[in-house]
């Protein structure tokens, strides 16, 4: 019997934030579904290294999070073993190209550039970012994600 290849997704920090701030977020079900797929090894969640810092920063500025909550979230995040990619010349060039062509930040486009290089989709919950680059077919809004592997 041939094993089915794992589906890969690149997620941005707007998706990861939902894992830890569930009370105040929309589309929790889809975010948790992606996390569950990854934890059960049914898919691979890929991120640029920047993801960890962006997510930590978002949680740091959440008034509901204590220092202990931040430490717990960081520990939990590291245990997820996300497929993290360091910067490379190829990734940076693609990131800069998208950022310049769509007038968006390099931070935001690093996720989309990684998805393009990996040949998979990028999932975002950032509506403002999505509106600016929605013509790029690799980008999908979290709320539009079909909840099936």
How many domains does the structure of the chain reveal? 1
pLDDT tens for each residue of 43-99: 999 999 999 999 999 999 998 999 999 999 999 999 999 999 999 999 999 999 999
2 assigned to some structural domain: no
149 assigned to some structural domain: no
pLDDT tens for each residue of 5-20: 679 999 999 999 999 9
46 assigned to some structural domain: yes
Q: What is the pTM of this model?
A: 0.91
Domain harbouring 52, CATH code: 3.40.50.1010
Contact indicator for 98, 112 with CB cutoff of 8 Å: yes
Domain enclosing residue 12, as ranges: 7-144
């Amino acid at each position: 019997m041939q094993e089915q290849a794992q589906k890969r997704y690149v997620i941005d920090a707007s998706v990861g934030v939902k894992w830890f701030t569930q009370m105040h977020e929309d589309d929790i079900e889809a975010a948790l579904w992606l996390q569950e797929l990854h934890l059960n090894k049914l898919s691979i969640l890929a991120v640029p290294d920047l993801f960890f810092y962006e997510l930590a920063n978002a949680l740091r500025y959440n008034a509901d999070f204590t220092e202990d909550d931040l430490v717990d979230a960081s520990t939990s995040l590291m245990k997820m073993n996300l497929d993290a990619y360091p910067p490379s010349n190829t990734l940076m060039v693609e990131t800069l190209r998208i950022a310049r062509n769509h007038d968006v930040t390099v931070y935001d486009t690093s996720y989309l550039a990684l998805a393009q290089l990996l040949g998979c989709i990028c999932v975002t919950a950032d509506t403002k970012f999505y509106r600016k680059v929605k013509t790029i077919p690799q980008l999908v809004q979290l709320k539009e994600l079909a909840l099936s592997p």
